[in-house]
Amino acid sequence: MSSAPTTGAEARIGSGLAGLPDLTDLLVVGLGVTGAGVALDAASRGLDVVAVDAHDLAFGTSRWSSKLVHGGLRYLAKGQLGVAHESAVERGILMDVTAPHLTHPMPMLLPLMSSVGHAQAGLARVGFAAGDLLRRSAGTRVGTLPHPRRISRTEVLAMAPGLRAAGLRGGLLSWDGQLEDDARLVTCIARTAVAHGAQARTRVRVLEATGTTATLRDEHTGETRTITARAVVNATGVWAGDLVDVHLRPSRGTHLVLRAATLPGLTTAVTVPVPAATNRFVFLLPQPDGTIYVGLTDEPVKGPVPDVPEPTDAEIGFLLDVIAAAFDRPLRRADVVGAYAGLRPLLDSDGSTADLSRRHAVLTSDSGVVTVVGGKLTTYRRMAEDAVDATGLADGRCRTRSLPLLGAVPRAGLAQVEAPTRLVRRFGAEAPLVLENARTVTGLSDEELLAPVAPHLPATLAELVFGVTHEGAADVDDLLDRRTRIGLVPADKDLAVPVAERALQLVSIHRTSQM
């Protein structure tokens, strides 16, 4: 049985094989949102858990999302009531119970432009009303996600200045959830699992697995080792077919990154209809860190699955053209400061994608490996519950529905956390721990620890140090691409490299002095 929960200060993610046991109850392969969720579910039911990732936490699809906590409206439109309800329930759990510190309500505006006919607007209104019913049926308070409403042309232009005013009749405003950062959610879930006794390691690749054994390779040293487990869960997303016989047909979703100053004053997400297409939209999503994402595409991908998918020029051009047509201000390629792509792990079900991916599937291979695939970030908790149930290991009932992640406090309580706003936004109630840890490890002043990495980059040395000491970051890329998201803008990453190197060096000096 796993050890009793520890505090956040003791919950540290490691890197490499050293110190891992030869025997465990459950081996979890992959530390995206799904694997981290499985590790937490199992550890909180009292199982011994070892969870590993070949690269890093959130290395795969989980860091390339739109960072939305969806309510399931899209499933409703397809008549998939059960899936829609599940999504709305999980959104409510994330926003109100498990991660209020990493989620917030996001207004979403559908401007009624000349390209949106009255019939389309009427349909959208019915859809938003149905979405609101879904929220209510899921038990999510209207204080968390307000009712949708029609707003005037003046209100639209106040929320999204620069929208093309000619022909604008007003707008429809609805609400969904937004994540502070998808990779941060994964890191937080993984550390919460560790706080419940799991061992989580980056840079450990599973070379092969059966339902009870696996060969692991330390990606730092090349050492290999066999581990015996009572069950193995394969949560490797688009790579699931490398370990067991499942067939995936990945589809690429691309986003652009713009600076907030490109569309000044934008305070809401905007849904822009794709000209001459029915029911196809491009979204503008303002982020808490001074950027705006524009997404997304849906392109089938053939051939081997790359480690890091690349957006194509055609996708970048398409996204830019659609939003440029909706704004008075000209938007050019030079405004695109970054672009990223992620692969949806679509299950190939006999030739039809059948939207299975957007549901999740739990499949047990002939050798007993339990694979959990599909779904989305929003539903990770439920996916994890189903996967752990499928192993047949746990006597106890799933606890994660009411288990706050590390740092969680009710939204209203966040203002009372005594720490800099930037840290509270990313660590919730753990923000004071992040700062205290950096003081102890580095001996530097708060002024140095809390200075922004660059004038327009609010990340701090304090959080980079925490990334190394507690979150398993082993190099500059881990720190800049996943513990913070500075790497989404390559020019910003170049600026931040020296600070990330300094964080790694300071921790290394501290560790040497402790030996």
Ligand X SMILES: Cc1cc2nc3c(=O)[nH]c(=O)nc-3n(C[C@H](O)[C@H](O)[C@H](O)COP(=O)(O)OP(=O)(O)OC[C@H]3O[C@@H](n4cnc5c(N)ncnc54)[C@H](O)[C@@H]3O)c2cc1C
Residues that bind ligand X (CB under 6 A): 29-35, 52-55, 59-62, 64-68, 70, 205-206, 235-239, 242-243, 253, 296, 342-345, 375-378
Q: How far is the CB of 5 from ligand X (least distance, A)?
A: 23
> What are the structure tokens assigned to 391, written together?
């192993």
Q: How far is the CB of 442 from ligand X (least distance, A)?
A: 29
> What are the structure tokens assigned to 75, written together?
């499933």
Instruction: Work out the number of other CB atoms within 10 angstroms of the CB of residue 197.
Output: 21
Distance between CA atoms of 65 and 67, rounded to whole angstroms?
Answer: 5
Q: Please identify, using beta-carbon distances, which residue of 46 and 131 lies nearer to ligand X.
A: 131
Q: Which residue stretches of 291-412 are H helix?
A: 313-326, 380-391
Nearest by Cα to 18 from 233, 213, 204: 204
How many CA within 13 A on the CB side of residue 169?
11
Instruction: Let me know the angle formed at the C-alpha of 170 by 168 and 174, rounded to the nearest 5 degrees.
Output: 130
- Give the list of residues 6+ apart from residue 26 with CB closer than 8 angstroms, or none: 38, 42, 47, 48, 49, 50, 229, 230, 231, 232, 233, 388, 391, 393
Q: Please identify, using beta-carbon distances, which residue of 62 and 460 lies nearer to ligand X.
A: 62
Distance between CA atoms of 324 and 294, rounded to whole angstroms?
Answer: 11
Q: Please identify, using beta-carbon distances, which residue of 156 and 479 lies nearer to ligand X.
A: 479
Q: Please identify, using beta-carbon distances, which residue of 64 and 427 lies nearer to ligand X.
A: 64
Q: How far is the CB of 347 from ligand X (least distance, A)?
A: 12
Q: Please identify, using beta-carbon distances, which residue of 53 and 492 lies nearer to ligand X.
A: 53
Q: How far is the CB of 308 from ligand X (least distance, A)?
A: 10
Q: How far is the CB of 206 from ligand X (least distance, A)?
A: 4
Distance between CA atoms of 197 and 3, rounded to whole angstroms?
Answer: 5
Q: Please identify, using beta-carbon distances, which residue of 35 and 171 lies nearer to ligand X.
A: 35
Q: How far is the CB of 435 from ligand X (least distance, A)?
A: 29
Reported in sequence order, the residue ranges of 382-508 that DSSP labels E, i.e. its strands, are 452-454, 457-460
Q: Please identify, using beta-carbon distances, which residue of 33 and 316 lies nearer to ligand X.
A: 33
Q: How far is the CB of 493 from ligand X (least distance, A)?
A: 20
